[in-house]
Amino acid sequence: MQVSMFHLMPYRDLPKDFEQRYHSVWVDPPWWELADADKVGQYYNWTLDELVYAARSGLDGICTNEHHQNAYGFMPNPNLMGSALAKATNGLDVAVVQMGSTLPTTNPPIRVAEEYAMLDCISGGRLVAGMPLGSPMDVNYCYGVPPMEQRERYREAHDLIVKAWTAKEMFAWNGKYWQLPMVNPWPRPIQQPHPPIWVPGSGSITTWDFAADHDYCYCFLSYFGWQMAQGVVDGYWARVQEKGKDMNPYRLGFLQLVVVSETDARAEEEYAEHVEYFYHKCLHIAPEFAFPPGHHDWESLVHMVRRGGFGGLSMNLREMGYRDFVNQGCVIAGSPETVRDQLREMAKRLRVGNLMVLLHIGSMPHELTLKNIDLFAREVLPHIRDIWDDEGWENHWWPQRLRKPQPATR
């Protein structure tokens, strides 16, 4: 298994009563009331330091992503972060996993082809190219794309980017959403024919098909643990089999919140408030922002209405505490033994080859984050790496030069 640290870069000092006083953490939280640019500068630096620390501690990859107008995670351009990370990790066998530039809103989309190619060159061929559709908050509300056009724009941007990377001759692009007379980007990526592509999804059949048809790694980025994810992931694997593809576990990426301490009790003491901060404040998203009409295609919409409407979440996050989040598997927390047992079980059940772990959560301070990374890397990681070794799969979705047999312990 390949294990990467994911970072959201949230605002770490929201007021205690944030979720009572404010409408939403995303789209309309008032910057001038809530935020301080000096603090934010410190957060960005801590975020970079934490990811570099993870890389030096032995994690296989480091992940950043793109979001806008929120206190939940605000790296409006993940490639600015990725660039600093690529430089800082030169010489390490660590993948720079961009999860990544939002395709429908990066204009023109060859900007993604160019920036990713830059990252691949700076990192010496260590880039994983995430291709997200983008959240409705980001794409529809913050960046103004009509919800009905989001998926079409995504497909066109994807086709254009891959062609821009691989075409040997300059070409003209006469698309529905973009027209470019002479496409010939400089640079092109080191990895040939192009860096591995990961597609984050939230469970729609359309995205399963897209990932399976193109032989990409499908990533389910869930905050609700593997029990809740089982249905979605089973659906994805069924689709993969229907299409006659192999069951290589590296076709699936999964995000898991993880906190490690010396003992289970100590973990609760140290991390409870930060986990609750994340679920209560960072996920305080106004439902109308998450489900604008037209965002779901017709089939998914009918399916959702039939299941009883919008929201999808059967849990009321605000009424849940640390122990609920742990018991439901939203967070895997505790001593190294507890965490490694649960991670092994989770990875086996979901058939995850590319695991992403969120090791900074909500309001977690810098020092505690380093402790979490350190314990995870030393006491957990060596015990979960070998999960798929007996099946002998190759991770085709990992940078070629980093693909080597992983020792069971480092």
Binding positions for another protein, rule: CB under 8 A: 140-141, 144-149, 152, 176, 287-289, 292-295, 298, 301-302, 305-306, 310
- Shortest distance, CB of residue 309 to another protein, whole angstroms? 8
Using CA atoms, how far residue 147 sits from 79, 105, 175, 222, 403, in Å, is 25, 12, 19, 22, 39
CB 76 → another protein: shortest distance, Å?
18
Q: Is 158 exposed, middle or buried (0-12, 13-18, 19+ CB in 10 A)?
A: buried
User: What's the token pair of residue 332?
Assistant: 């895997």
> Smallest distance, Å, CB 106 to another protein?
18
Q: Closer CB to another protein, residue 177 or residue 393? A: 177
Is 202 strand, coil or helix?
coil
Q: Where does residue 13 rank: exposed (0-12), middle (13-18), buried (19+ CB within 10 A)?
A: middle
Q: Given the complex with another protein, which of 236 and 289 has the nearer CB atom?
A: 289
Taking the complex as a whole, how short is the minimal distance between the CB of residue 368 and another protein, in angstroms?
A: 37
Q: How far is the CB of 292 from another protein (least distance, A)?
A: 5
Query: How would you label 173-209 residue by residue, b for 16+ Cβ within 10 Å and e otherwise?
Result: bebebbebeebebeebbbbeebbbbbbbbebbebbbb
Q: Which is nearer to another protein, 29 or 61 (CB)?
A: 29
CA dist., res. 96 & res. 48, Å (int) = 12
- 76 or 287: CB nearest another protein: 287
For another protein, the closer of residues 25 and 94 by Cβ is: 25
Which residues fall within 8 angstroms of residue 56, CB to CB, at 6 or more apart? 92
Nearest partner of 197 among 401, 352, 354, judged by Cα: 354
Q: Which is nearer to another protein, 24 or 222 (CB)?
A: 24
The single residue listed with the structure tokens 């469970």 is 203
Taking the complex as a whole, the smallest distance from the CB of residue 307 to another protein amounts, in Å, to: 10
Q: Which is nearer to another protein, 230 or 300 (CB)?
A: 300
Strands (E), 95-205: 95-98, 127-130, 171-174, 179-183, 197-201
Q: Are strands 179-183 and 61-64 parallel, antiparallel or unpaired?
A: unpaired
Shortest distance (Å) from residue 224 CB to another protein: 22
